């Protein structure tokens, strides 16, 4: 149903034109699963550029033009999900772009997922959050093995959210 993949900006690549990124994204980005082929020193652990690609069946909800500090985008999604679980509504801006991400409950089983000026879809709440949490967990697991940084806060959040979203089934 959902396909969630995380990508990192290849060390040494500079993005100066989003049209070039659209036309040849793999010239700039590599999937997080391939991070081991790089040296940890090639990345700034405080500023990890990358992107989350999100598809719902054949519809692209997030793609390479929404690149930013990918670890922070994932952390922001976790915070948004916490708010959705608690109040039915969560929002955050991308770390370095003035684009608002909003998720709001519109029924017992549906949420409205919106990225300002890019995406607006009604989606199945449980499946969306479950698949995004799995994507976040995969991302932080791969990153923690690579850079040996501690992502315990994120792993605890993911674990707690997995339990909390069971009520949405």
The domains of the chain are located at 2-168
Strands (DSSP E) found in the chain: 2-9, 29-31, 49-56, 59-62, 68-69, 89-93, 100-105, 110-115, 119-124
Q: List all residues 6 or more positions away from 141 whose beta carbon is below 8 Å from its beta carbon.
A: none
| pLDDT tens-digit profile, the chain (169 residues) | 999 999 999 999 999 999 999 999 999 999 999 999 999 999 987 889 999 999 999 999 999 999 999 999 999 999 999 999 999 999 999 999 999 999 999 999 999 999 999 999 999 999 999 999 999 999 999 999 999 889 999 999 999 999 999 999 9
118 φ/ψ angles, rounded to the nearest 5 degrees: -130, -50
Q: What is the pLDDT of residue 146?
A: 92
Model pTM above 0.85 = yes
Distances (CA, A) of 91 to 77, 104, 152: 9, 8, 23
């Amino acid at each position: 149903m959902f396909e969630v993949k995380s990508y990192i900006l290849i060390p040494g690549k500079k993005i100066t034109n989003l049209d070039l990124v659209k036309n040849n994204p793999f010239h700039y980005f590599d999937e997080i699963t391939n991070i081991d082929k790089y040296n940890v020193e090639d990345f700034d652990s405080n500023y990890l550029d990358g992107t989350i690609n999100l598809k719902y069946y054949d519809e692209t909800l997030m793609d390479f033009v929404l690149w930013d500090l990918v670890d922070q985008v994932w952390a922001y999604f976790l915070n948004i999900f916490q708010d959705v679980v608690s109040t039915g509504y969560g929002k955050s801006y991308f770390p370095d772009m003035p684009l608002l991400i909003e998720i709001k409950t519109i029924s017992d089983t549906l949420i409205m997922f919106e990225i300002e000026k890019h995406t607006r879809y009604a989606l199945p709440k449980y499946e969306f959050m479950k698949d995004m949490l799995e994507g976040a967990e995969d991302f932080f697991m791969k990153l923690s093995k690579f850079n040996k940084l501690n992502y315990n806060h994120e792993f605890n959040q993911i674990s707690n959210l997995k339990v909390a979203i069971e009520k949405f089934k």
